[in-house]
């Protein structure tokens, strides 16, 4: 059984950041779910999706969002297998995170997202039919859950 993934970061192990909003990302092949926190890092809420185009354009759009919103850190979900192993999705997320780190002047953390999409789908299953069918709702909600998980880790209040 594999041990903890060294790429998955903890708030407690990272540098203390200035107060400000944190951007949460649910990275996917077609869309990137987006969520942002309040300046105190206590509430996470969905802000939509970024429809993927080319990598350079995706990175530029995220960099603009970080600047416009005064984001102090970015957290991306890392889609690990249930046994903790990494598949193609995790490798794609790592590669994108590496490029995102190079494009931004803020830290980019990866956290385990094994349950977020399933939880987001369950949450939307109870929503009215029209709301469920809107594209990107699951992605934005998954980004919110990723960000909420990050903000609830020990040490998040010190950020």
Half-sphere exposure of 109 (CA within 13 A, CB side): 27
What pLDDT, in 10s, does the model give residues 59-103?
999 999 999 999 999 999 998 756 666 677 889 999 999 999 999
Pairing of the two strands 44-51 and 31-37: antiparallel
More confident residue, 89 or 132: 89
Residue of 97 and 155 predicted with greater confidence: 97
Query: 48 — alpha (psi -120 to 50), left (phi > 0) or beta?
Result: left
* CATH for 20-158 (3.30.1360.120, 3.30.460.10, 3.40.50.2000, 3.30.420.140): 3.30.420.140
> What is the spatial distance between Cα 104 and Cα 33, in angstroms, rounded to a whole number?
18
Top pLDDT among 143 and 159 is at 143
Task: Give the pLDDT confidence of 10-62 residue by residue, as tens digits.
Answer: 333 344 456 899 999 999 999 999 999 999 999 999 999 999 999 999 999 99
pLDDT for position 121: 58
Q: Please tell me the number of Cα atoms within 13 Å of 125 on its side-chain side.
A: 6
- Residue pair 159/41 in contact (Cβ under 8 Å)? The answer is yes
DSSP label at 80?
A: B
């Amino acid at each position: 059984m594999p041990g903890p993934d060294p790429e998955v970061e903890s708030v407690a192990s990272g540098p203390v950041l200035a107060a400000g909003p944190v951007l949460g990302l649910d990275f996917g092949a077609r869309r990137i779910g987006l969520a942002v926190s309040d300046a105190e890092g206590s509430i996470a809420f969905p802000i939509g999706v970024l429809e993927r185009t080319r990598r350079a354009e995706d990175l530029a759009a995220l960099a603009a969002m970080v600047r416009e919103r005064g984001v102090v850190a970015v957290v991306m979900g890392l889609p690990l297998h249930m046994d903790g192993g990494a598949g193609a999705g995790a490798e794609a997320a790592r590669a994108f995170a590496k490029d995102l780190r190079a494009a931004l002047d803020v830290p980019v953390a990866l956290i385990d997202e094994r349950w977020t999409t399933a939880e987001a789908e369950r949450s939307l299953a109870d929503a009215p039919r029209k709301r469920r069918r809107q594209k990107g709702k699951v992605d934005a909600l998954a980004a919110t859950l990723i960000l909420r998980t990050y903000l609830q880790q020990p040490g998040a209040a010190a950020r």
